[in-house]
């Protein structure tokens, strides 16, 4: 394992513990309020979110509102080393268990998002994120070039996320404290 991979592995352990402590109803409500504002300029576009797992900050309140006037999709892992694909999601629609235990829309049409909301274990001020290590989001961002919105608790920010050439920078970060745009 190279040095960056080792740094990321340790950071993942620490970040997962930290995120669980930050997950409160008030923080989720505040972050979703900011997420709604960040999504407002994208009405009419297809937006992909995610079904929260573990202590991930849930985008579902904002996406439920957004689904009233736009297409919302959720990611599906089709195989190791592949970019994500997306299925249309409707609030209250049928879900099934996908890869890694993630819930995904059942029997819905595919969609290609123009905007991608991304979960994180940690992030830094440059707009880089730390995920679970599969590279699915990085490959997807590289392939689709969507507008990217990282969603996290403000306490998940770290001084610097170790990066490699394949790590993709996010366009903005939304937390319960506001929206940060990355140049």
Question: Is 9 annotated as ligand-binding?
Answer: yes
Question: Is 13 annotated as ligand-binding?
Answer: no
Question: Is 134 annotated as ligand-binding?
Answer: yes
Question: Is 133 annotated as ligand-binding?
Answer: yes
Do β-strands 72-76 and 47-48 pair in parallel, antiparallel, or remain unpaired? parallel
Question: Is 10 annotated as ligand-binding?
Answer: yes
Question: Is 50 annotated as ligand-binding?
Answer: no
Strand ranges, E, within the chain: 47-48, 72-76, 85-89, 95-97, 103-105, 115-119, 122-123, 129-130, 147-151, 172-175, 178-181
Question: Is 7 annotated as ligand-binding?
Answer: no
Question: Is 12 annotated as ligand-binding?
Answer: yes
Instruction: Centre a 10 Å sphere on the Cβ of residue 175 and count the other Cβ atoms it contains.
Output: 23
Question: Is 8 annotated as ligand-binding?
Answer: yes
Please identify which residue in the block is written with the tokens 């997807």. Answer: 140
Quote the DSSP letter at residue 57.
Answer: P
Question: Is 177 annotated as ligand-binding?
Answer: no
Please give the backbone phi and psi of residue 154, each rounded to the nearest 5 degrees, phi first: -55, -35
Tokens of 115: 């905007």
Question: Is 56 annotated as ligand-binding?
Answer: yes
Question: Is 45 annotated as ligand-binding?
Answer: no
Question: Is 166 annotated as ligand-binding?
Answer: no
Question: Is 97 annotated as ligand-binding?
Answer: no
Please give the backbone phi and psi of residue 47, each rounded to the nearest 5 degrees, phi first: -120, 135
Q: Which residues are annotated as part of the binding site?
A: 8-12, 51, 56, 129-137
Q: Which residues are annotated as a binding site for substrate?
A: 51, 56
Which residues contribute to the annotated binding site for ATP? 8-12, 129-137
């Amino acid at each position: 394992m190279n040095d960056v991979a080792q740094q990321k592995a340790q950071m993942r352990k620490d970040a997962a513990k930290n995120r669980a402590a930050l997950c409160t109803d008030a923080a989720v409500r505040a972050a979703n309020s900011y997420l709604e504002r960040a999504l407002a300029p994208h009405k009419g576009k297809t937006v992909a979110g995610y079904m929260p797992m573990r202590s991930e900050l849930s985008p579902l309140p904002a996406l439920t509102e957004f689904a009233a006037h736009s297409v919302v999709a959720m990611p599906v892992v089709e195989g190791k080393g592949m970019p994500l694909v997306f299925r249309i999601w409707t609030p209250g629609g049928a879900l099934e268990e996908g890869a890694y235990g993630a819930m995904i829309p059942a029997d819905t049409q595919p969609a290609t998002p123009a905007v991608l909301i991304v979960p994180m274990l940690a992030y830094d001020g440059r707009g880089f994120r730390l995920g679970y290590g599969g590279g699915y989001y990085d490959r997807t961002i590289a392939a689709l070039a969507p507008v990217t919105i990282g969603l996290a608790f403000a306490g998940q920010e770290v001084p610097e996320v170790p990066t490699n050439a394949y790590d993709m920078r996010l366009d903005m970060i939304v937390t319960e404290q506001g929206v940060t745009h990355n140049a």
